[in-house]
Amino acid sequence: MPNPRILRYDGWEMAKIEAAERIKAMSAPQKVYEAFMDFENYSQWWPAGWEFTLIKGGNVGAEVMLVRGRLRLMLTVVDVRPGREIQLLVEGDLHGRATIKFEYQGGQTEINYQMSLQPRSMSLMIFSNVVPYGKGIEKTIRQAVEKLNQQLPARS
């Protein structure tokens, strides 16, 4: 039976990049949701090395360009349930979907995110079978939430 994590593209085999985790944020879901939707201020809490350019603000339809080195990603908000969930379309060097849910857990918010991405650039296609990109995404989001936790009490 074929492995569903392996995709074929013009003779090349490449693995899907999967990332999923639950992380605690030290604030109410609405406040954490608002921080995640505030793309203009990602640079204040996202790990160093990422550049963010807001293309279009708002809720559904909001777009932000993320750049890290040669990696380029366009995130588009395709659906929201305010205070509860954000669904993103990811395009660029990686293509796929991401869902971020915010759940109240005794004075804190549990952030539950899931991403399923396919490499689009040749270098990512080749290395996706050997480099644990999903683990790198998980680490980046953990670091971002740790930094956001430090800032949440000061956010209005």
Would residue 72 count as lying in a domain? yes
Would residue 53 count as lying in a domain? yes
Would residue 58 count as lying in a domain? yes
Q: What is the per-residue pLDDT across 23-39, written as a single tens digit (0 to 9) for each?
A: 999 888 999 999 999 98
Q: Residue 48 belongs to what domain range?
A: 23-154
| Nearest by Cα to 17 from 142, 118, 126 | 118
DSSP at 57: -
Q: What is the pTM of this model?
A: 0.81
Sign of CA dihedral 40, 104, 116, 148: positive
Would residue 3 count as lying in a domain? no
Contact 14, 129 (CB under 8 A): yes
Q: Note the pLDDT of residue 77.
A: 97
Region of poorest pLDDT, from 47-56, 77-86, 106-115, 120-129: 120-129
State the Cα–Cα distance between residues 110 and 9, nearest whole angstrom. 37
Would residue 36 count as lying in a domain? yes
Over 70: is that where the pLDDT of 71 sits?
yes
Average of per-residue pLDDT values in the chain: 83
Would residue 6 count as lying in a domain? no
Question: How many structural domains are present in the chain?
Answer: 1
In the predicted model, what is the mean pLDDT of residues 91-118? 91
Quick one: residue 72, left, alpha or beta (phi over 0 = left, psi -120 to 50 = alpha)? beta
Residues 6+ apart with CB under 8 A from 92: 71, 72, 73, 74, 120
Would residue 89 count as lying in a domain? yes
Token output for 152: 């949440």
Would residue 9 count as lying in a domain? no
In the predicted model, what is the mean pLDDT of residues 82-111? 93
CATH number at residue 135: 3.30.530.20
